Structure 1
């Protein structure tokens, strides 16, 4: 499998299972209706686990543009590959969210609240305060990326495999994402990944969902810029501590 395919497919599985658990909890008439935050954070952790298992041996399992750029900033990844990785992640996120809609299409049809419908695709703040919403995404992504920097053995079984989430191994990275969700995710829903929010939000805007309203583009910059800022800060701090 090529690095591009691995990032696309790995990210697709992350969003399929991650947004899928949100759909199962919030949409009307599902088996997991109203199961709560613990189920959502657990589902997202396991979704990342699956993505890392698939992509790790081939691409390093970045699965997140913030991770890719931060690794390039500290010299652990080639800048020449950044564009291809980000494109693959973006397309994978869009495809994964589209599949969630297909799987839960009957439940989308019987769910009337437009905010609930949007929640399956993208994040939103529990209390809208853009400054602190942005801070939440920055801190959550900082934790993610900073921990990645301090794991070794990034090459897995292939010394040419670029470092990424795969450097942690699938089980540790699942626990890391779970910890971030449980401890820091209650404010914004912890995107901590620009394409996790942006790609599905585009799909929400395009799909023929009768009850939907706005895709809330006024807020969309927060889960896009916050992760990039948090990842950049993690890269800078790591570089300073290493020197």
Structure 2
């Protein structure tokens, strides 16, 4: 089982690849967007991404980023092996993940750390923040229209006209493919982008405008509800918070 710690520069892209073992990817500073055939996820200081073995994926770095990766054998996976998953990272798990990638660990030390990590992962809370990948060509087009400019509040009626289908049909596409409504998906898309913008140095007010909130206070309310911390706190941790263990 390998364990590694890497420093990445803003904007760096790790090309599409896959592993023979399961992988846990944790980011103690900065943000890493993980994209697979299933969709896109954001790994940050409060969330880690679990990628099952043989899953094709690629990464893009936002901000100066410290990445910790741990491999897990396929025969003893502590999490689901059918698709990528985002898990919440509480303080204890955070310190364990960071400590397990320290250089110079002996095999007994690493074994003890990994045993506790496995126990905590089996109890981990799975978090829903992700951007699923559309398959229907009309839904792909609609999602691209929204994501290309999140500052503009696209309505279902406008999107349906652009896609050449009815509002009811568009709503059905969102439910069938994403298991959510259009407003729910758009909220995830805006928070997803906000995490990237905040880590890249944008202010809370700038991020609120870029991601389509009418007021900064509305952005703060939604971001805090989804992420469990205010945008200001997330921004300071994402740009300054490094490994502590």
TM-score band, normalised by shorter chain: under 0.3
Query: How does the TM-score come out when normalised to structure 1?
Result: 0.26
For the pair shown, which has the larger CA radius of gyration, 1 or 2? 2
Query: How does the TM-score come out when normalised to structure 2?
Result: 0.26
The structure richer in helix per residue is 1
